[in-house]
Amino acid sequence: MASLRDRYSSVELYRLKKMLKTLASKEGRGTELVSLYVPRGRPLSDVMNNLRQEYSTASNIKSDRTRKNVQSALERVMQRLRLFKRTPPNGLVIFCGAIPQNGPGSEKMETYVIIPPEPIDISYYGCGSRFYVEPLLDMLREKDTYGIILIDSSGATFATLTGTRLQVLKDITSGIPGKHRAGGQSARRFERLREMELNEFFRRAGKYADSLFLGMENLKGLIIGGPGPTKKDFVEGDYMNYMLKKKVIAVVDTAYVGEEGLRDVLNRASNIFKEVRRVEERRLIQKFLNHVSKDTGLATYGEEHVRRQLERGAVETLILSEDLQTKRLLVECSNCGYSEWVSVQPVDMFRFEKELATRKCPKCNLQTLRVKERRDLIDELIEMAENLGVKVEIVSAKTEEGEMLLKSFGGVAAILRYRF
């Protein structure tokens, strides 16, 4: 089956992640939040019957408030189920419960309906102080893993690449001396001894490969790299388990082993890792950086500049950091109706609102300004781009390139259709 990254855009996955993060943060008073998982293929009539039984059982709850909230949540869940003629192909998930908005007594009933991105096979109903989102969060975790072995006569590096996470598992040294023989040894004897030591090192490296990669879940392939012909001798020899040898999908040249060699693998084997988000993001950010460094006029960054180019219709690809935290606040005058949107960082929110209370409206000159609406900048820019038919890419901040986008370019960048 194709991975989620292949079947869904980065924006779709971002929105689902954001919703689940929001749901995971919600907390009810007592065990009043209802979570329902309907597996694919299950008749909705069976689910409705079970929920009616749960509604009847909830009447035995001693606390009046808890009983009322649980039964109200169950009523809403059943209302949502009636909107479906049959269970969707991937199943159905519904969350509902009374969420405190601003302390005790401020509860508001909230309902969320989610069509899972992958088929679910669990049947679950439960009440708790939090929504049960773990099965959906697990779906979003990158599961395809590539193993990497970099090897030469000096040593070997073993690593994995899962989604955007590159992890070094083991570094070993060979202990084999260089090609210059010790005094008094014949060239033939020296080469024979060195070949024996190299063979022994290959066997040791093969055992490490077997122990690290054999049985690893979701191992999609194995990449072998390193300088010179050593790596090919290792692959072609009888050093790794035959099941691992079948997993070898590429042998690539690198200038080094170790971390520098891993960077070489990522650069030289990007076509192999095309479905791994790390390489896709690297290619995208490097394209943007290339335009910036060469001053081609086909790249811009920063909220104001990017917004201006979006409004002009000049943006080809909008690039946003997944960790962009900037908030957009609609400031309005309660006296004359004057309004403006402003961008504020979360750490500055308290100070901004405190200062706003003392500011005078630029139109009527009264201290009647207030925050009427709040939204995330990333959501605003995505909506703006989608309305204009602009491609949007959401980039993780967990990679070196993603961190650069966030810290050096404010998390907002764009590749343009034409010079501005």
Query: Tens digits of per-residue pLDDT, 134-180?
Result: 999 988 876 778 999 999 999 999 999 887 778 999 999 988 876 65
Q: What integer is the mean pLDDT of 218-227?
A: 90
Handedness of CA 395, 398, 399, 402 (dihedral sign): positive
Task: State the Cα–Cα distance between residues 392 and 414, nearest whole angstrom.
Answer: 9
7 pLDDT band (50/70/90 cuts)? low
Give pLDDT tens digits for 28-60: 988 899 999 999 999 999 999 999 999 999 999
pLDDT higher than threshold 60 for residue 102: yes
Q: What's the burial of 374, exposed, middle or buried (CB within 10 Å: 0-12/13-18/19+)? A: exposed
The whole-number pLDDT of residue 218 equals 80
217 pLDDT band (50/70/90 cuts)? confident
Give pLDDT tens digits for 58-99: 999 898 999 999 999 999 999 999 999 999 999 999 999 999
pLDDT higher than threshold 70 for residue 329: yes
Task: State the Cα–Cα distance between residues 389 and 313, nearest whole angstrom.
Answer: 9
- Which stretch of 34-43, 115-124, 374-383 has the lowest confidence by average pLDDT? 115-124
Q: What is the DSSP letter of 43?
A: -
The whole-number pLDDT of residue 141 equals 77
Tell me what percent of the residues of the chain surpass a pLDDT of 70: 93
pLDDT higher than threshold 60 for residue 275: no
270 pLDDT band (50/70/90 cuts)? low
The whole-number pLDDT of residue 276 equals 66
Selected residue with higher pLDDT from 105 and 251: 251
Query: Long-range contacts for 155-163 (Cβ within 8 Å, ≥24 apart)?
Result: 155/257, 155/258, 156/205, 156/208, 156/257, 157/257, 157/258, 157/259, 157/261, 157/262, 158/208, 158/209, 158/212, 158/213, 159/262, 160/216, 161/266, 161/273, 161/276, 161/278, 162/218, 163/276, 163/277, 163/278
Residues forming a β-bridge with 413: 301, 319
pTM of the model: 0.75
Please name which of 263, 65, 70 lies closest in space to residue 148, comparing C-alpha atoms.
263
Q: What's the burial of 84, exposed, middle or buried (CB within 10 Å: 0-12/13-18/19+)? A: middle
Q: Strand, helix or coil at 370?
A: strand
Task: State the Cα–Cα distance between residues 278 and 144, nearest whole angstrom.
Answer: 12
Q: How far is CA 332 from the centre of its chain?
A: 36
**How many residues in total does the chain contain?**
420
